[in-house]
């Protein structure tokens, strides 16, 4: 699986000022066609799909979960 930019809260733990964190997030969001970061829950749903019987016929594929970022 290839996840795109995801709001995991890691920037909050880096000791960065709120202005720097916001600037980093805004820079990432500007690159995403749907104009928002992904959530951990959205990535978890993709992992659940891959681990479930629903993906039993999927083999050798890369699941890109990035809100269209790499398709632009």
| pLDDT tens digits, 24-64 | 999 999 999 999 999 999 999 999 999 999 999 999 888 99
User: Which residues span the domain enclosing 42?
Assistant: 2-71
pTM: 0.73
CB under 8 Å to 4, separation ≥6 — which residues?
32, 38, 64, 65, 66, 67, 69, 70
Average pLDDT, the chain: 91
pLDDT in the model for residue 57: 95
Q: Where are the beta strands (DSSP E) in 1-72?
A: 2-3, 6-7, 38-39, 64-65
Q: Is the model's pLDDT at 22 over the cut of 70?
A: yes
Q: Domain count for the chain, please give it.
A: 1
pLDDT in the model for residue 51: 94
Tens of pLDDT, residue by residue over 40-50, are 999 999 999 99
Q: Shortest CA distance to 36 belongs to which of 45, 26, 23?
A: 26
């Amino acid at each position: 699986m290839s996840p795109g930019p995801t709001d995991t809260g890691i920037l909050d733990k880096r000791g960065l000022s709120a202005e720097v964190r916001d600037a980093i997030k805004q820079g990432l969001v500007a690159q995403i066609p749907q104009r928002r970061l992904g959530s951990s829950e959205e990535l978890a749903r993709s992992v659940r799909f891959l681990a479930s019987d629903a993906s039993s016929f999927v083999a050798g594929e890369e699941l890109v979960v990035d809100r269209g970022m790499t398709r632009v």
